[in-house]
């Protein structure tokens, strides 16, 4: 598949377990003249449950990608699956579109949770490209998904034709196998932090585990999910960084 044109930025997806330093790394990369970190640094709508990748590929639990293919010679069965897939994709898009405006457009919270997509793109522009994608959803979903994301990157307010565009949603690594399909030229940075520090940080939040034992189970599940997804990504496109190595005395 052809990549982005020269004036477009190639994605760099930063992720990890959460509370591992993704935002810090995104801010550091943003200081480089060839890197533009997304505004907001976590756009959230791409690699989160019910996000755009779930619209394109199905939910992570649906196993759509791994099911047995049907030959076009079994035309009736093949057509039934195509129609069913289209119906489900339309339903997923409608749910995703609602989340854009109800959950991700404006977020009342500090970085990286806020301020929401409105900080980086005009509402009319986002409405337009969502409408264009909705009308093209019937055929070649991957092609039109790429077109939607190319448009989103170019329409971000701080776009100055930098070589790289960095995005810091922690779940990027758990979704890396799908992001690599959507962006064949994408690179991935996995940031790791001492699990004890991650768990200690998580316990201060109202959305994570409530006890150290729950924290261990939570971080184990995330690490396994990350490693499983990364198996589908070319090793030369993955860089692993430890947060502690970024700290100088």
DSSP per-residue string spanning 104-158: ISS--SSTTT-S-GGGTS-HHHHHHHHHHHHHTTTS-HHHHHHHHHHHHHHHSTT
Cα-trace Rg, the chain: 19
Confidence of residue 3 (pLDDT cuts 50, 70, 90): very low
Q: What is the DSSP letter of 191?
A: E
pLDDT of residue 86: 83
Task: Please list, in sequence order, all residues whose beta carbon lies within 8 angstroms of the beta carbon of residue 91, skipping any fewer than 6 positions away.
Answer: none
List the beta bridge partners of residue 188: 13, 238
Task: Please list, in sequence order, all residues whose beta carbon lies within 8 angstroms of the beta carbon of residue 79, skipping any fewer than 6 positions away.
Answer: none
Q: What is the DSSP letter of 139?
A: S
Q: Using the predicted structure, report yes or no on whether residue 75 has a pLDDT greater than 70.
A: no
Q: Using the predicted structure, report yes or no on whether residue 4 has a pLDDT greater than 70.
A: no
Q: Using the predicted structure, report yes or no on whether residue 184 has a pLDDT greater than 90.
A: yes
Task: Please list, in sequence order, all residues whose beta carbon lies within 8 angstroms of the beta carbon of residue 207, skipping any fewer than 6 positions away.
Answer: none
Rounded Cα–Cα distance for residues 54 and 167 (Å) = 18
List the beta bridge partners of residue 167: 13
Mean pLDDT of the chain, nearest integer: 89
Residue linked to tokens 């759509």? 64
Mean pLDDT of 185-203: 95
Mean pLDDT of 72-100: 83
pLDDT of residue 227: 97
Q: Using the predicted structure, report yes or no on whether residue 5 has a pLDDT greater than 60.
A: no
């Amino acid at each position: 598949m052809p990549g982005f044109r020269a004036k477009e930025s190639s994605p760099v997806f930063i992720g990890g377990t959460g509370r591992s330093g993704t935002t810090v790394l995104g801010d550091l990369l943003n200081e480089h003249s060839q890197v533009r970190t997304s505004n907001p640094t976590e756009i959230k709508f791409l690699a989160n449950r019910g996000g755009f990748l779930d619209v394109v590929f199905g939910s992570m639990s649906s196993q759509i990608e791994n099911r047995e293919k049907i030959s076009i010679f079994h035309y009736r069965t093949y057509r039934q699956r195509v129609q069913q897939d289209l119906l489900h994709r339309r339903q997923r898009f409608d749910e995703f579109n609602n989340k854009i405006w109800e959950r991700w457009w404006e977020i009342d919270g500090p970085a990286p949770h806020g301020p929401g997509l409105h900080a980086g793109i005009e509402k009319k522009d986002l409405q337009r490209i969502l409408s264009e994608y909705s009308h093209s959803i019937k055929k070649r979903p991957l092609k039109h998904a790429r077109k939607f994301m190319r448009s989103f990157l170019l329409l971000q307010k701080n776009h100055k034709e930098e070589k790289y565009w960095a995005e810091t949603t922690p779940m990027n690594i758990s979704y890396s196998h799908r992001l690599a399909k959507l962006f064949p030229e994408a690179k991935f940075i996995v940031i790791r932090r001492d699990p004890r520090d991650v768990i200690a940080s998580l316990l201060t939040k109202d959305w994570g585990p409530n006890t150290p034992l729950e924290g261990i189970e939570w971080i184990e599940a995330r690490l396994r999910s990350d490693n499983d997804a990364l198996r589908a990504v070319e090793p030369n496109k993955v860089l692993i960084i430890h947060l502690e190595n970024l700290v100088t005395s």
